[in-house]
Amino acid sequence: MTQPVITCTNVWKLFGPNPEAFLKKMPAGLSYEDIRQQGYIAGVKDVSLSVGRGEMLVIMGLSGSGKSTLVRCLTRLHEITGGTIEVEGQDIGVLSEKELIELRRRKMGMVFQSFGLLPHRTVLQNVAFPLEMRGQDRHERRKRALEVIELVGLSGREDYYPRELSGGQQQRVGIARSLAIEPDIWFLDEPFSALDPLIRREMQDEFLRLQGMLGKTIVFITHDFDEALRLADRIAIMKDGAVEQCDTPDKIVLQPATEYVSKFTEDIDKARVVHAGALAGAVNGSALTGSPVAARSTIHSLARLLVNDDRDKLPVADDKGMVIGALDRQSALDVLLGQG
């Protein structure tokens, strides 16, 4: 992973009458249910993870798993009960209110499931609003707002009001507004869940396009495993406030760490998720022949080649064409067709 931008260490968020005192005297190893029986709810339970620069970490889980609570802790919308959260090496728990507001205004963009648009303001005015709150010059904020409106594909609708836009267009305005401040870190809490499936897919495509252009550090919440697999560099799966597994989509699918994670993956077409690079082993002096396959290629996209090729091992190359490993053809066929 690249240099961490966000680092959580043993983070707890307990809800109850006196959470700090309870956490100090709480015996180690208590389950979520044990804690609940003591009169407390573990919204976040001893979470340690990092988010690298330019990485998209998707946090997923069912309703009540703690994913939204965790993100609110990362932005200090919730004060944590224990542990530390650092943003670019700075412990955000010790920041004054003024310093925290400045951090959010300068470094963080947030998009939530409810679009939160101001109904009496146009698209342009909505997008420029955070720049207005920052005190930016009117000409400069208009120029920046127009840039991000074009970026999200809403040119020509600058003077529309939210009621005149579709759900997908309203979501694009929300995304543009959060991008207007040029955040280094972008938090998105189920931003597409209110959209119908076709628009949701289009917004995922748009989001991937924007990330390819901008390279933001992103924490994205969803309860949709297919969406997580499509968007994530890594996925953190939560249950009862704890992270069950945090890994790449390939490893989540191939090597689920717990029975709970395994349930998420059992109906997934693994061949559409697993990449050749994830299955590639060391060359170890093997005489690899023929054209290499791209490490980024999914096993599904290589299906015809795998079925028709007679090589036991296929060279795997990175984006620069350099061979980085050997793909065992039988292992790949097992992913494609199912073992046995």
The model's pLDDT over 93-138, given as tens digits with 9 standing for 90+, comes to 999 999 998 898 888 888 776 667 899 999 999 999 988 888 888 9
Q: How far apart are CA 111 and CA 189, in angstroms?
A: 6
d(CA 17, CA 22): 9
| Arithmetic mean of pLDDT, 270-299 | 90
Give dist(CA 124, CA 120) in Å, integer.
Answer: 12
| Mean pLDDT, the chain, integer | 90
**pLDDT above 80 (res 287):** no
Higher pLDDT, 11 or 310: 11
In tens, the pLDDT along 51-75 reads: 999 999 999 998 899 999 999 999 9
Least confident of 74-83, 112-121, 177-186, 327-336: 112-121
Q: Is the pLDDT of residue 267 over 80?
A: yes
Token pair, residue 146, equals: 């127009």
Return the higher-pLDDT residue of 207 and 77: 77
44-48, 155-159, 166-170: which is most confident: 44-48
What is the pLDDT, as a whole number, of residue 113? Answer: 67
pLDDT at 283 (0 to 100) = 84
pLDDT of residue 115: 66
Q: Which of 11, 13, 82 is nearest to 48 (CA)?
A: 11
Q: What is the mean pLDDT of residues 157-179?
A: 89
Give the pLDDT of residue 112.
75
- Over residues 253-278, mean pLDDT: 92
In this predicted structure, what is the pLDDT of residue 339? 66
Q: Which tops the pLDDT comparison, 79 or 130?
A: 79
Tokens encoding 318: 């990175």
Q: Once rounded to an integer, what is the mean pLDDT over residues 225-238?
A: 93
Residue range 17-50, pLDDT digits in tens: 999 999 999 998 899 999 999 999 999 999 999 9
Q: Which of 107-121, 182-196, 252-266 has the highest mean pLDDT?
A: 252-266
Q: Is 94 exposed, middle or buried (0-12, 13-18, 19+ CB in 10 A)?
A: exposed
Which of the two residues, 215 and 12, has the higher pLDDT score?
12
Residue 72 has a pLDDT of 94
Angle between helical axes of 97-107 and 123-134 (0-180°, round to 10): 140
Ordered domains of the chain (ranges, CATH): 1-53+61-94+233-268 (3.40.50.300), 116-222 (3.40.50.300), 271-337 (3.10.580.10)
Model confidence band, residue 212 (pLDDT cutoffs 50, 70, 90): confident
Over residues 134-145, the mean pLDDT reads 90
Confidence (pLDDT) at 213: 84
